[in-house]
C-alpha cells in the first residue's frame, strides 16, 4: 500500500491494544519505532514483528512523521507528554495522533501545552477491543481538521474504519459515552445469564436466538458465552473498563443518571483479577447461580 507522506511512526503504548495495532502498521509497510515502558515481552514481540525498539520514548519519536499514543490512562498520558525530553524530541509540526481513552480535559491540557511545538493534533480513541486491534476492524472516533484526517487515512485504513468528528476532545467524549453503554450492557448480559439458568434454558440456544433478536447487542454477542463458559481470558481488561466508566461518571457530574451510578457501584464491588476480560464482572452473581442450582 502507499503510505503517502507518513512513513515513520513513533508508536507509544505496546499494551493489549497497542501491540497488535503496531504490528498491523509494520505489516502494512510503515517504519514503526517504539520503546518499552513496562512489558518486556511486548517489546520482544514488537521487535520480532519488524518494529524498531529504542531505550526511551524520546529516542523513539525522533525524526518521525507521526507520533501515535495509546496508553493506559490519564496519568500515563500526562506523564508521557509532560516529559520535557519527550517534548524536545518530537519533530516540530509533526502530527500527534492520540488514541488513549481518557477525559477530554486531559487531552485539551496536553494540546495547549504543545501549541508551540505542533498544532497538528488528532483526537482518535477506538472501540472494538483486542480482536478489533488484531484484525484491523476498530471503530476510530477521529476528531481533527479534515486535512489532517485525510493525511492519516493510510494509517486509519490499516487499523479499522473512521468516523470523523471536528472538535478536538469530541473523540474522547464519544468514547466516554460508548464505554458507559458497554459497561452498563455488560451488567444486563450477566443478569440475563442468571435468568437463563433459573429458567433452565440452554445457554447456547439462548445465545443463538437473542443475538438475532431485538435484545441482542455487541456486548451480548461477544460476552454472553464467555460468561456461560466462565472464560474470562483475553479481551478488554476489567481495570480499563472500570477506569473508562469512571471517566463517564466524572463527566456526568451534576446529572441524575441512576443507571450509570448503579453501574459504577457494582463495578466498584468487584474484587478479583482486574486484568481479566471485563465480562469477569459476572462473577458478582455466582452466589445466586449456586443458590438456584
pLDDT means over runs of 10, the chain (293 residues): 74 96 98 89 96 97 98 96 98 97 97 96 96 96 97 98 96 98 98 97 98 97 97 94 98 98 98 96 89 59
Residue 175 appears among annotated catalytic residues: yes
Query: Roughly what angle, to the nearest 10 degrees, separates helices 104-113 and 170-198?
Result: 160
Contacts of residue 209, Cβ cutoff 8 Å, sequence gap at least 6: none
Report how far residue 65's alpha carbon sits from residue 31's, in angstroms, rounded to the nearest whole number.
Answer: 10
Q: Closest Cα partner for 267 from 289, 248, 293? A: 248
DSSP-assigned beta bridge partners for residue 10: 33, 67
- Please state whether the predicted TM-score (pTM) of the whole model is above 0.95: no
Break the chain into its structural domains and give their ranges.
Answer: 8-167, 173-292
SS3 content of the chain, % helix, strand, coil (to 5): 55, 15, 30
Handedness of CA 184, 187, 193, 198 (dihedral sign): negative
C-alpha to C-alpha distance for 96 and 130, rounded to whole angstroms: 22
Q: How far is CA 82 from the centre of its chain?
A: 21
Q: Which of 18, 157, 32, 19 is nearest to 100 (CA)?
A: 18
Class of the 173-292 domain?
mainly alpha
Report pLDDT for 33.
98
Q: Which fold has domain 8-167?
A: Rossmann fold (3.40.50)
- Collect all residues with Cβ–Cβ distance below 8 Å to 23 and sequence separation of at least 6: 45, 46, 49, 51
Nearest to 105 by CA among 70, 71, 74, 72: 74
Q: Which residue has the cell 481479566?
A: 276
CB atoms inside a 10 Å sphere around CB 152: 24
Helix, strand or coil, per DSSP, at residue 238: helix
E-strand ranges in the chain read 8-12, 31-35, 52-54, 66-69, 95-98, 121-123, 126-127, 138-143, 160-165
Nearest to 275 by CA among 249, 231, 236, 247: 236
pLDDT at position 3, please? Answer: 45
Rounded to whole angstroms, how far apart are CA atoms 247 and 260? Answer: 11
Q: Alpha-carbon distance 139 to 198, whole Å? A: 36
**Which of 88, 116, 119, 175 is labelled catalytic?**
175
State residue 53 phi and psi, 5-degree precision.
-105, 130
Tell me the per-residue pLDDT of 87-109, one tens digit each, with 9 for 90 and over: 999 999 999 999 999 999 999 99
Q: Could you give the CA distance from residue 277 to residue 131 in angstroms, rounded to a whole number?
A: 12
What are the residues whose beta carbons fall under 8 Å from the beta carbon of 135, sequence distance 6 or more?
none
Amino acid at each position: 500500500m502507499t503510505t503517502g507522506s507518513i512513513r515513520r511512526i513513533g508508536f507509544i503504548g505496546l499494551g493489549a491494544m497497542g501491540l497488535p495495532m503496531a504490528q498491523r502498521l509494520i505489516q502494512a509497510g510503515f517504519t514503526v519505532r517504539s520503546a518499552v515502558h513496562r512489558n518486556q515481552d511486548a517489546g520482544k514481540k514488537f521487535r520480532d514483528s519488524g518494529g524498531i525498539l529504542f531505550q526511551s520514548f524520546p529516542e523513539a519519536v525522533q525524526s518521525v512523521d507521526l507520533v501515535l499514543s495509546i496508553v493506559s490512562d490519564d496519568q500515563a498520558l500526562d506523564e508521557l507528554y509532560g516529559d520535557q525530553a519527550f517534548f524536545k524530541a518530537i519533530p516540530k509540526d509533526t502530527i500527534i495522533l492520540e488514541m488513549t481513552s481518557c477525559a477530554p480535559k486531559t487531552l485539551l491540557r496536553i494540546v495547549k501545552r504543545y501549541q508551540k511545538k505542533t498544532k497538528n493534533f488528532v483526537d482518535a480513541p477506538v472501540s472494538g477491543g483486542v480482536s478489533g486491534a488484531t484484525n484491523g476492524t476498530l471503530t476510530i472516533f477521529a476528531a481533527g481538521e479534515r486535512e489532517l484526517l485525510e493525511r492519516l487515512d493510510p494509517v486509519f485504513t490499516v487499523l479499522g474504519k473512521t468516523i470523523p468528528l471536528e472538535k478536538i476532545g469530541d473523540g474522547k467524549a464519544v468514547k466516554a459515552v460508548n464505554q458507559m453503554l458497554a459497561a452498563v450492557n455488560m451488567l444486563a448480559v450477566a443478569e440475563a445469564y442468571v435468568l437463563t439458568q433459573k429458567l433452565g434454558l440452554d445457554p447456547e440456544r439462548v445465545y443463538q436466538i437473542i443475538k438475532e433478536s431485538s435484545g441482542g447487542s455487541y456486548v451480548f454477542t461477544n460476552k454472553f458465552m464467555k460468561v456461560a463458559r466462565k472464560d474470562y481470558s483475553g479481551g478488554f481488561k476489567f481495570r480499563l473498563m472500570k477506569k473508562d466508566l469512571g471517566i463517564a461518571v466524572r463527566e456526568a457530574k451534576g446529572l441524575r443518571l441512576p443507571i450509570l451510578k448503579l453501574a459504577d457501584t457494582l463495578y466498584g464491588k468487584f474484587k478479583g483479577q482486574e486484568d481479566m476480560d471485563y465480562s469477569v464482572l459476572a462473577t458478582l452473581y455466582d452466589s445466586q447461580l449456586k443458590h438456584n442450582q
